[in-house]
Structure 1
Amino acid sequence: MNNNSNLGALCIGSIATFFSLSAMADFTYENGHNRLSFGGDVELDINAQNTHSGKGPIFFEDEIDNGDEFSQTGRILLDVSGERTSDSGNYARFKVQPLVQTDGDMGVDDAWLAIGNKRGTQLKVGRFEAYDLFPLGQDVFVGYSGDTSDGLYRDGQGYVYQAKEGRGRGGDAGQLMVNHSSGDFYAEVSTLFGDRTDLFDSSTYHGYTIDPDDDAKSSLIVRPVLAWTPGSWTFAAGMEANLVDDAIVDERGADVSDRTGYGTRVSWDSGDWSVNANLSLLDAYEEENVTLGLNALWKGFGVGYIHAQNDIDEVKPGSNEDDAISVAGKYSIDTLYTSYHFADVLDVKDLGIYLGAYYSTIEHDEVDNPDDADRYGARLRFKYLL
C-alpha cells in the first residue's frame, strides 16, 4: 500500500477517533512531508447584562429599549489543519474550523488555504482574520454603549472604531492576503471583496436611507499592515480603505462606503505581563471617529479601558422629534472591563474558568445624556481546549 493510501486510511480512523472521545489533546499525524492535526475547544458562557435592543436611537430617552437579561451562549469548535511541504521548503496548508452553537445553529470560524515558501512569503485565500491592530487583551466580556467596528454599524448609536472593518470574516465577502516575514519584521496586504452592505445593521446612515434602489456594488477593501517585533516589544501600523467608488450610496447619492481607517498598536509581553496600547482613526462620510485603548494582563488578571469619540457633521433633518434617527455633534464612549482566568481547574489540564465584566457609558456634547444608555454585564465562561 502506498503512502497516500496509508494517509487516507489514517485520516478516516483519526476522524472517527476524534468524534468518539469525550476529551482528548490535539492529535497530530506526520508522515514525511505530510502533517495532519485535529483539535478544537469548548467555550460556554453564562451571561448577565443590561442591553439595548438597537431599535431606537440611543440619545432619545423615550426610544431606549433596555433591560437586564440572563442568557447562555457559546460553541464547540472543531479544528482540522493540514500541511504538505516539498523538498525545497515550499508548502501548502489548510485549516477548517466548523462551529456548533449552543442555540443549535451551525457556523464556521476559519476556512482557508495558504501557499508559501521558505523565504517567508505566503498567499492565503478563504475565510480568516488578518492582523489585529486593536487587541483587547483577555477580552472575556467587552460590551459598549454602542457598536464596534468588528461588528455592525447601526444608525443612532455610538461607534467604537477599532480598525477591523476590513479585517476579515465579513459575511459573504471573499478574502485574499499576501504576507511576508523576515526576522523581526512582518508585512501583509489583505483584501476583503464582495457585498459589504451587511456592515450597516440599519436601513439608514445619519438618517438617510441606504441603498434605496437596491443596486449596491461589490466593495474592495484593502488593508496593509507593517509590524516590527524587537524582543518583548511589538510596534504595528496599518490602514484599511474601500477602493470602489459609490459601492453603497444613500438616498442623496452620497457614497457612504467611502470609509478610510488607520490603526496603530504598541505591545509589550514579558514573563507574567502583557500590555497593549492602541489607537484607531476613521474618516467616513460626514463622520470622523477616534478610539484609544489600553489593557494589561498579569498572572490571569486582566483590565482594560477604551475611549471612543464620534464626530458627526450632518444628519437628516426631521419634521418633528419622532422622525429623528441620528444626532449630529460629538459622542464620547467610555468602557472599562476586567477579567480573571482560573487555569487547569481541578488539576485538569487546559480546563479553564474565566470571570469577565464591563461597564460602558455614552455622552453627547449637546444632548442630555440618559442614564438608560449605560451598559454593563458579567460573564462566567467555561473553556476546555481539546
Structure 2
Amino acid sequence: MFGGDVELDINSYNTQSGPIFTEDNIETNDEYNQSGRILLDVSGERTHRGNFARFKVQPLMQTDGTFGLDDSWFAFGNDTGLEAKVGRFEAFDLFPLGQDVFVEYNGDTSDSLYSDGQGYIYQAKEGRGRSGDAGQVLVSKASGDLYAEVSTLFGDRTDLFQGGTYHGFTIQEDSKNAFIIRPVLAWTPGSWTLAAGAETNLVDDAIVDERGQDISERDGYGTRLSYSEGAWSLNANLAYMDAHDEENLTLGLNMLWHNFGLGYIHARNEIQNVKVGSSVEFASGDYDVDTLYTSYRFPEVLGIEGFDIYLGAYYSQIDHEEISNLDEADRYGGRLRFKYLF
C-alpha cells in the first residue's frame, strides 16, 4: 500500500537563546518562517492461517531540503492479539496532547532533549521511541477491552542531554549503551480509556558525569484517562519522573469539541545540587511551567476530501521561586497549517 500526507506550516513565534535560569538578561527573538514536510507511507502485509507479517516505512522530505525518517518497522503476530514489532516507531502514548497543531514550551519535553538551564516538561516519553541510533523491540497483547505492551529502547542515549552537561556537570564521553524498558497496561471499556505505565533504564552507569554520578538512573511513571464519544474527546494526563538530583511532575488536560481544541499543561520541577559557578547555577530550587494552547480545524477546504487547514496558538510562562526576571521568558506563537492526505 502507498499513501502519505503533506503538512506545511507558516509560523510566527517567540524564541529564546541561552539559558532561562540566569541572572543576566534573557535574549528573546520573534521569528517568522515556514516549516513542514511531505511524508510518504509505504506498507504491506501477508497472512497465513491466522498469522501475519507486516511492515511500514515513512520517509520524510523536509521543506528545508533535508531528508528524515518517521516510522520504519517490521511486525509479526497472530489473530489472538499477540504482536512483536522491531525497528523505529513510537510506543503507547501516555501523555496525549489532543489536537496539538502548535505546542511549544518554556523548556524541553521528554520526547525531545534535556537542556541545562531550561524548563523540563516530563511526559513519560523518554523511552517511547524514535530515538537517534537506539534500537527498539515491542511485544504487545490485545484481549477484549485490555491491551498490554512491553517496549524496549536500547543503545546510545547520550543524545537525551543537549550540550553535554547535566546540572552544570560535564557528561563523560565513554558512556555505555542504555537499556530502557517501558511496560504499559490500558483498559478501554466503551468510550473510556484508562492507561498506566512506567519507564526505567536497567543498565547501571550508562551515562556518568564528571563526579562519577549515574545520571542515567531515571525512573518515570505515567497515567492517562481519556474519553471519546461523538464530537467530544477528552484527555487527562499525569507524569512523574524521579531522576538524579531532580524530580518532575506534569499534569495535562485537553479537549476537542467538533473542530475546536483546547489544552493546558502544568509542570512542577525540583532541582538539587547544581554545579556552583556554572551557567545553570541559578536553576536550583523549585519552578513551574504553565502552557496553554488552542487550535481549530477547517475540514475539506474547497470541498476537497483530505484537505484541511488548521490554526494553532500557544502561550507558555515559567516561574522560579528564587529568580525575579523570568517575565522576559514568556513564550508564545501562532501557526497556519495546510494538511493534505493522499
Tell me the TM-score range normalised by the shorter chain: over 0.9
Equivalent residue letter for 2:11: N
Aligned pair count reads: 342
1:239 deviates by: 0.3
1:155 to 116, 136, 139: 116
1: distance between equivalents of 2:111 and 2:15?
18
In the alignment, structure 1 residue 82 sits paired with structure 2 residue 44: yes
Cα-to-partner distance string for 1:291-322 (whole Å, 9 max, x where unaligned): 0000000010000000001101211111xxx7
SS of 2:225's equivalent in the other structure is strand
In structure 2, the residue corresponding to 1:371 is in which secondary structure?
Answer: helix
1:43 and 2:7 are equivalent in the alignment: yes
Distance 1:95 1:323, change over 3 A: closer
- Look up the match of 2:258: 299
**Is 1:123–2:79 an aligned residue pair?**
no
Contact 1:361–1:374 under 8 Å retained in 2 = yes
Find out whether 1:342 has 2:298 as its counterpart: yes
CA contact (8 A) 1:206 1:326 kept: no
Residue 131 (structure 2) pairs with residue 175 (structure 1) = no
Choose from 174, 194, 212 the match for 1:215. Answer: 174
**Whole-angstrom CA distance in 1 between matches of 2:119 and 2:25:** 15
Does residue 351 (structure 1) correspond to residue 313 (structure 2)? The answer is no
Q: Matched residue of 2:133: which SS?
A: coil
User: Of 11, 32, 37, which residue of structure 2 is paired with 1:70?
Assistant: 32
Q: State how 1:245-260 maps to structure 2 within 5 Å.
A: 245-260=204-219
2:241 aligned with 1:241: no
Whether the 8 Å contact between 2:252 and 2:264 is mirrored in structure 1 is yes
TM-score calculated relative to the size of structure 2: 0.98
1:369 deviates by 3.9
Q: Which residue does 1:142 correspond to in 2?
A: 103
Which of these residues, 277, 280, 286, is aligned with residue 239 of structure 2? 280
Partner-residue secondary structure (3-state), 2:182? strand
Superposition deviation, residue 61 in structure 1:
5.1
SS at match of 1:346: helix
Distance 2:34 2:175 in 1: 36
The runs of 5 or more residues in structure 2 that have no matched partner are none
Q: CA deviation at 1:232?
A: 0.2
1:19 corresponding residue in structure 2? none
Check the 8 A contact 2:54/2:74 in 1, yes or no.
Answer: yes
Q: CA deviation at 1:210?
A: 1.0
The SS at the match of 1:372 is: helix
| CA positional deviation for 1:64 | 2.3
**Among candidates 283, 292, 316, match of residue 275 of structure 2:** 316
- Matched to 2:9, the amino acid is D
Supply the distance in 1 between the matched residues of 2:23 and 2:316 (Cα, whole angstroms): 17
Is the partner of 1:255 in helix, strand or coil? coil
Cα separation, 1, equivalents of 2:25 and 2:168: 15
Cα distance in 2 for residues equivalent to 1:323 and 1:374: 20
Moved over 3 A (4+): 322-326
Distance 1:152 1:129 in 2: 16
CA positional deviation for 1:250: 0.4
Contact 1:155–1:326, Cα closer than 8 Å, also in 2: no
Q: Which segment drifts farther, 322-331 or 214-223?
A: 322-331
Residue 126 of structure 2 aligns to a residue whose secondary structure is coil
Give the C-alpha shift of residue 366 in structure 1.
1.6
What is the root-mean-square deviation in Å for CA atoms of aligned residues?
1.0
- Contact 2:320–2:326, Cα closer than 8 Å, also in 1: no
**Normalized per residue, which structure has more helix?**
1
1:185 to 146, 165, 173: 146
Structure 2 Cα separation of the partners of residues 113 and 59 of structure 1: 43
Q: What is the identity, as a one-letter code, of the residue corresponding to 1:47?
A: N
Q: What is the identity percentage for the equivalent residue pairs of Structure 1 and Structure 2?
A: 69
**Counterpart residue identity of residue 254, structure 2:** N
Change in Cα spacing, 1:61 to 1:383, as seen in structure 2 (3 Å) is farther
Give the deviation of 1:63 after TM superposition. Answer: 5.0
Q: Which has the higher strand share?
A: 2
Structure 2 distance, partners of 1:269, 1:155, is 38
Q: 1:57·1:326 contact (CA, 8 Å) conserved in 2?
A: no
Point out where structure 1 has 5 or more consecutive residues left out of the alignment.
1-36
Counterpart for residue 159 of structure 2: 198
Mapped to 2, the partners of 1:301 and 1:282 lie a distance apart of: 31
Spell out, residue by residue over 1:233-283, the C-alpha distance to the aligned partner (whole angstroms, 9 max, x if none).
000000000000000000000001100100000000000000000000000
Distance 1:102 1:127 in 2: 22
Cα separation, 2, equivalents of 1:51 and 1:325 = 22
**Higher Rg of the two aligned structures:** 1
